[in-house]
Chains A and B, each alone.
Chain A
Amino acid sequence: MIDRENAQERQLLNRQLAQMLKGGVIMDVTTPDQARIAQEAGACAVMALERIPADIRAVGGVSRMSDPKMIKEIQAAVSIPVMAKCRIGHFVEAQVLEAIDIDYVDESEVLSPADDTYHIDKTRFKAPFVCGARDLGEALRRIEEGASMIRTKGEPGTGDVIQAVRHLRKINAQIARIVSLRDDELFEEAKQLQVPCELVRYVHDNARLPVVNFAAGGIATPADAALMMQLGAEGVFVGSGIFKSGNPAQRAQAIVKAVTNFEDASLIALLSEDLGAAMVGINESEIEILMAERGK
């Protein structure tokens, strides 16, 4: 918890950490060993969680914050930043994660939501938060609540990239529209998006979100990752795609290199060779729970 005076400087430092992650790949890991494999493969951060989204989807039931002991073991295993998820609206899980010195909290729709009305007031925390967004309104609402990094809300655990693509294209299109508006049209736009006018004005003047924007959900191959980068993502989260595949270390390395050289098709071709089986995946139309519908 933090007083308002220091909150602004902390918010800036937290946005700046996200800037350092740009051009990188953040990988879901469930054990210290996986965390070490991820770091060695070139992950710029790891997301520590008990079950990866594909398993959460398969097993069902209520999904909660991970055991702090497991998170601490992962923190001890790597030098890169360690993130962890709390449930939407569950500010005590967020307090617990802050208490164990987490580098980033993901207020995540992948876990079962704890509150169907209110998100966490993230301005009250020293620890940084990343939140999912399907469109610009959601992104700016989360930023107003104190999120210092945004990611798309592509359907986790499916290996199907369609929703991440849809969200990123939508956010880009909405940003382009706001840039094209006259100054006197911004008030109405803010009203429509249900966000403060100040944030709409920032987007209008800078043609981007005020925080770093990553792609997440369904990314399973080097080409998927490069696709999101070419669409304008500033980095990618890869969840089930790595440790649900045939050869995690090799696939992880290939995705990292594809993100760095996302416009080099011949390199991506080379990286895509002999990667073994990708995660099997489920098509968007076959899934029963749409996690992206959680928390708007």
Chain B
Amino acid sequence: MTSERRQPTIAVLAVQGAFLEHEQRLERLGCSCIELRKASDLDQPFDGLVLPGGESTVQGKLIDELGMLEPLRCLIMEGLPVLATCAGLILLAREISDDSTSDPTRSPRLATMLVTVRRNAYGRQLGSFHTSQDFSGLGEVPMTFIRAPFVEQAETGVEVLARVDGRIVAVRFGSQIAVSFHPELDSCDAIHTLFVNEIRV
């Protein structure tokens, strides 16, 4: 272990949602954070990207109209490590399964992960829940699902990291990790630590 490890800088998408919670957690783990609110924020150097929870339609629209969609997509395709939670998973998904409530083609997404995601898959707020389940390599971790999506279909090359009641709720594809729950809301650091360790390698 090197004692003089450089502190990783994480860019947290801060257009809408629970981004502060991620920043507080990452700073506690020794990272420094920058917030992405507009295209010029991308000029600063960073080592990893967090896509927080919130409303995916809002976030997708804002990253597109504020000029961040294509630059972020390029960075992710080039291998930038990403941790995406809840709405973030929807932003990364290549496909959104047909849901009658909206036309998914109208909300722009990064679409860099070969998964099909169902939004609001557990229903409305009354379907939100908390549980603890096994996560690949981490043992049991607490999981908070808020109007959460799940992964309906994962293409070859996508590693499934966790399931709840048979549904896929955590995946890895290259350097992208996406979960449908909210590790930033629970006291357990395991998933953020996993992400930070990947950046440090």
Contacts and interface: CB of A to CB of B under 8 A. Distances in A.
Given A78-B101, A81-B147, A260-B66, A20 B124 contact: no
Interface stretch (B54-62, B164-172, B193-201): B54-62
A257 B62 contact: yes
B49 interface: no
A139 B65 CA distance: 36
Interface in A110-142: 126-128
Contacts of A259: 16
- Most A C-beta atoms less than 10 A away, residue of B16, B37, B130: B16
Interface stretch (B17-25, B72-80, B132-140, B152-160): B17-25
B147 A103 contact: yes
Contact of B66 (A14, A40, A78, A257): A257
Nearest to A19: B18
B130 A13 contact: yes
Interface string B40-60: 000000000000011101100
Contacts of A77: 101
A264 B38 CA distance: 10
Contacts of A257: 62, 65-66
Given A20-B17, A79-B120, A44 B55 contact: yes
Given A79-B102, A79-B119, A260 B15 contact: yes
Contacts of A42: 16, 57-58, 61-62
A42 B66 CA distance: 13
B57 A79 contact: yes
Interface in A67-116: 75-82, 98, 101-104
A104 to B, nearest CB: 7
Contact of A261 (B38, B58, B102): B38
Given A260-B15, A264-B38, A103 B125 contact: yes
Contacts of A128: 125
Interface string B1-32: 00000000000001111111100000000000
Interface string B85-127: 0110000000000011110001000000000000110011110
A16 B182 contact: yes
Interface residues of A, number: 42
B17 A260 contact: no
Interface stretch (A21-29, A152-160, A186-194): A21-29
- Most A C-beta atoms less than 10 A away, residue of B61, B99, B119, B126: B126
B188 interface: no
A39 interface: yes
A9 interface: yes
Contact of B54 (A24, A104, A264): A24
B119 to A, nearest CB: 6
Nearest to B61: A42
Given A40-B106, A78-B101, A17 B62 contact: no
B62 A256 contact: yes
Contacts of A253: 65
Contacts of A98: 126
A23 B19 CA distance: 9
Given A44-B54, A76-B101, A22 B66 contact: no
A43 interface: yes
Contacts of A261: 37-38, 66
B126 A39 contact: no
Contacts of A126: 126
Contacts of B146: 13, 16-17, 20
Contact of B102 (A16, A78, A103, A267): A78
Nearest to A24: B16
A147 interface: no
Interface string A235-276: 000000000000000000100110111001001000000000
13 contacts: A13-B144, A17-B146, A20-B86, A22-B18, A23-B17, A75-B124, A78-B102, A81-B55, A98-B126, A126-B126, A128-B125, A261-B66, A264-B38
Interface of B: 14-21, 37-38, 53-55, 57-58, 61-62, 65-66, 86-87, 99-102, 106, 119-120, 123-126, 128-130, 144, 146-147, 182, 185
* 5 pairs of A and B residues whose beta carbons are closest in the complex: A79-B102, A103-B125, A23-B16, A44-B55, A79-B101
Given A20-B54, A102-B124, A257-B66, 15 more contacts: A13-B125, A13-B129, A16-B182, A16-B185, A17-B147, A19-B21, A20-B18, A20-B87, A23-B14, A24-B54, A24-B55, A42-B61, A42-B62, A79-B120, A127-B126
